[in-house]
Amino acid sequence: MPDLSEFITFVSRLSGVKNLELIEKDVILHLILREICSSTVGQNYLFKGGSCLVKCYFGYYRFSVDLDFTWRNQEVWEDLGKRKLRKVLLERITDFAGVLEKACSQAGLNFKPNLEDKKMFEFGGGGRMVTFKLWKGMELVKIQVNFVEKILFKPKKVFVKTLLNMDELKKDEKVYFDKFLEFYKPFQVTAYDEREILCEKVRAILTRRAQKLRDFYDLFILQKHGFEIEDFKSEILKKIEASLYYKKYRDALEKNKERLKIGKEILENPFERSLCIKKPEEQFEHFLNNSLRELREIANICPRRR
């Protein structure tokens, strides 16, 4: 019976990807994602973010280190008072945590569904946004869920892919690694439209104090597939306005209006660079210069909310 390390080496050989740690992370994230999306609870959520771009839309141009979701039916929050909203949110959070606990037991991760444990949970906006913290030793895996969100585009049914091409596997390989291929294989999910992800990527950049290279690289890949920032300015503004409920985002936005930039420490961050399966193309630098100008323009026409 093969163990996980043997399977990871097998995936590395077939995919040509040399970083075994990131392959292991992808296998673990795929297992967690499959457990969430195959559960009754998981039917209430939309898969989104950079992980969605990689695994559902554009292939493995980079690795992901976390998973992001949004509550699907936003109408359920309408007309709820603050106290009732918080009560219902806590119920949904508890349900989701139960699914994660089961997934973590299979993936060999540590997660306890104790909502008062700050090592396991991080709350924003009274439970409107939650980060579930899963641990593999000292290594953190984040699962972030936005329960209250403005969804602008119709979600899609898409397939989540892996680093393997199942059609190219030999029969004896399928039999030998059956234990892992039972979950590390494509499956269908309901996910954000690419345009929705673009709008939230821009929002993340403009409402975050510390920038991440991966967000800009995701926007670059989106542009290569025909999704331009300038075509969705009004939708981006709606997304940003909805997020200004959170003070930390308001403060970061004001800071970025003045001095949004991508310094050497961001461009050459070793960890962020390690996530890229291929070295960013030469035109990426040109894209960065142009996109920074566009992003500053958007930041400076954002409404103020106090």
Mean pLDDT, range 15-44, rounded to an integer: 96
- The confidence score (pLDDT) of residue 289 equals 86
By CB neighbour count within 10 A (0-12 exposed, 13-18 middle, 19+ buried), where does 22 fall? buried
pLDDT tens, position by position, 247-266: 888 888 988 887 788 777 78
Residue 80 has pLDDT above 90, yes or no: no
pLDDT in tens, 204-262: 999 988 889 999 999 999 999 999 999 999 999 999 998 887 788 888 898 888 778 87
> Can you give the pLDDT at residue 220?
95
Q: Is the pLDDT of residue 93 over 70?
A: yes
Q: What's the whole-number mean pLDDT along residues 159-175?
A: 95
> pLDDT-based confidence at 100, cuts 50/70/90?
very high
> What's the pTM value of the predicted model, to 2 decimals?
0.94
Average pLDDT over residues 266-290: 85
Q: Is the pLDDT of residue 76 over 80?
A: yes
Q: Is the pLDDT of residue 1 over 70?
A: no
Residue 259 pLDDT: 79
User: How much is the pLDDT for 286?
Assistant: 87
Above 60 in pLDDT, residue 131?
yes
